[in-house]
Amino acid sequence: MPTRREEDEATIRRQIGRIVEGIRAGDLEGLRRLYATDVVSFDVEPPLQHVGIDAKLKNWANVFAFFREVDYEVRDLTLTVGDDVAFGHCFGRLSGTMRNGTATSGMWVRGTFCFRKTGGDWLIAHDQVSVPLDMASGRGVTDLEP
C-alpha cells in the first residue's frame, strides 16, 4: 500500500502531465487550474518576474499565439515532497510549428517547480525556467541537450 508521500508524489507527477497536456491543447483554462492564484514565475521572457495567475497565463497565451501547433516534453523530473510543499526540477522543451509554417525543434531549458498543497490540491506556487549563460559573451546557451 502506498504511503501518503508516494500518493502525493504521484499526484504531483500527474499535475506535471496536465501541464504538458494543457500546453499541447492550448488550454489556458486547464492550465489555470494548475497554478496558485499568487504564483510567482521566473520565466525566460522579460520581465524578471511574472506575479499572479493572469501574468503566468499571459505567457502561455503568447506561446499559443506564436505557434500553430505546439508540443512540450519533460525529461528527468525529480521531486521532493513534504506535507504541504514540494519541489521538483526537470528539463523541458517546447517545440512545434510556428504560425508562419516553420517547424522548430525548440530548445531545452531547465525548469524548477515549487508546489503548495492548498485545500487538498497541489498547485504550482513558483516556477522558474532558465538556460545556461555563457559568461564571456553574456548570451544564453540554447543548443544544449540533456
Task: Please write the tens of the pLDDT for every residue from 110-119.
Answer: 999 999 999 9
Place of cell 499572479: 52
- Residue 93's pLDDT band, with cuts at 50, 70 and 90, is very high
What number of CA atoms fall less than 13 Å from residue 34's CA on the CB side?
25
Nearest to 69 by CA among 34, 23, 17, 111: 23
Q: Which residues contact 107 (CB under 8 A, 6 or more apart)?
A: 93, 94, 131, 142, 143
Sheet of strand 103-118, all strands in order from the earlier edge strand to the far edge: 50-51, 35-42, 121-130, 103-118, 85-98, 67-81
- With respect to residue 146, please indicate whether it lies within any of the assigned structural domains: no
Task: Please write the tens of the pLDDT for every residue from 112-140.
Answer: 999 999 999 999 999 999 999 999 999 99
- Residue 2's pLDDT band, with cuts at 50, 70 and 90, is confident
User: Cβ-count burial of 56 within 10 angstroms (0-12 exposed, 13-18 middle, 19+ buried)?
Assistant: buried
- With respect to residue 71, please indicate whether it lies within any of the assigned structural domains: yes
Q: Which domain holds residue 135?
A: 4-140
Task: Please write the tens of the pLDDT for every residue from 4-58.
Answer: 999 999 999 999 999 999 999 999 999 999 999 999 999 988 999 999 999 999 9
- Beta-bridge partner residues of 75: 91
107: CATH: 3.10.450.50
At residue 88, does pLDDT exceed 90? yes
What average pLDDT does the structure give for the chain? 96
At residue 78, does pLDDT exceed 90? yes
Distance CA(84)–CA(120), nearest Å, equals 9
Q: Count the domains in the chain.
A: 1
Strand ranges inside the chain, DSSP E = 35-42, 50-51, 67-81, 85-98, 103-118, 121-130, 133-134, 139-140
- Residue 1's pLDDT band, with cuts at 50, 70 and 90, is confident
- With respect to residue 22, please indicate whether it lies within any of the assigned structural domains: yes
- With respect to residue 145, please indicate whether it lies within any of the assigned structural domains: no
